[in-house]
Amino acid sequence: MDIKLARIDDRLVHGQVVTTWTKITGISRILVVSDEAASSELRKFLLKQASPPGVKTNVMTVEKLIEVSAHRLLDDVKVMLLFTNPTDVSHLVKAGVPIEKVNIGGMKFSNGKKMITNFVSVDETDIEAFKFLNLQGIELEIRKVPSDRKINLIDVLKKVE
Pairwise CA distance, residues 150 & 9, whole Å: 16
The helix (H) or strand (E) run that includes residue 78 is strand 78-83
Q: By three-state DSSP, how is residue 83 classified? A: strand
Task: Show the domains of the chain with their CATH numbers.
Answer: 2-160 (3.40.35.10)
Give the strand pairing for 121-122 and 114-115. Answer: antiparallel
Question: Model confidence over 24-71: pLDDT tens digits?
Answer: 999 999 999 999 999 999 999 999 999 888 999 999 999 999 999 888
Q: Which residues are catalytic?
A: 14
Question: Model confidence over 94-138: pLDDT tens digits?
Answer: 999 999 999 999 999 999 999 999 999 999 999 999 999 999 999
